[in-house]
Amino acid sequence: MRVAETAVPGAYLITPDRIADERGNFYEGMRADELERVLGHPFTPRQINYSVSRRNTLRGVHGVSVPPGQAKYVTCVRGALRDIIVDLRVGSPAFGRHQAVELDAGSGRSVYVPEGVGHGFLALTDDTCICYVVSSLHQPGTQIEINPLDPELALPWGFSEPPLISARDAAAPTAAEAAAAGTLATWAPAPARAPVPARAPVPESR
């Protein structure tokens, strides 16, 4: 698999190498050893979640307060989606910066989202299913929601008609409001890690 760091420090796009024949194809969706080499620390799955969405559903921007914190390994297992991560770590040199990529079941691509970084997506097809492999168990009351239409973030969702969005997401605070309220994580420099070859450039960053 090929791993490329995104415009958000500590977040990565993972693209598997497929082995194809007349039966179909095979690929590795995640390798713990490769991910640990890149991150400089283990990623230990504690829970696996799925969500299914109709076309033009907008979910996010979501995160988990630190502590407990939660890193995510995100894969589209059916359909297609426009995935956006945004740095919400107060004090980060990239605070407010985002990375947008398209994930689909055909490519098998995944995104690793570190603790303190927000995540959201727009479903591009009906019956889109997304899988989250996460590093901590669900704890009620620790969820963080940021308004996905925050004008200061100006996230490039790319919808051509008003998206289907939950009332909770629509009423969520902006990133600046959440930072002022003290609900966001604080930036901490990443631990030393092996350099990642720039083999897979990631487009659509800001």
- Give the catalytic positions in this structure: 62, 132
How do strand 80-87 and strand 58-64 relate by DSSP bridges? unpaired
Give the neighbor-by-neighbor strand order of the sheet with 58-64.
Answer: 98-104, 80-87, 117-123, 58-64, 143-145
Return all residues near 181 (Cβ < 8 A) that are at least 6 apart: 173
- 129 by Cβ neighbours in 10 Å (0-12 / 13-18 / 19+) ranks as middle
Dig out the tokens for 193 from the structure. Answer: 């890690």
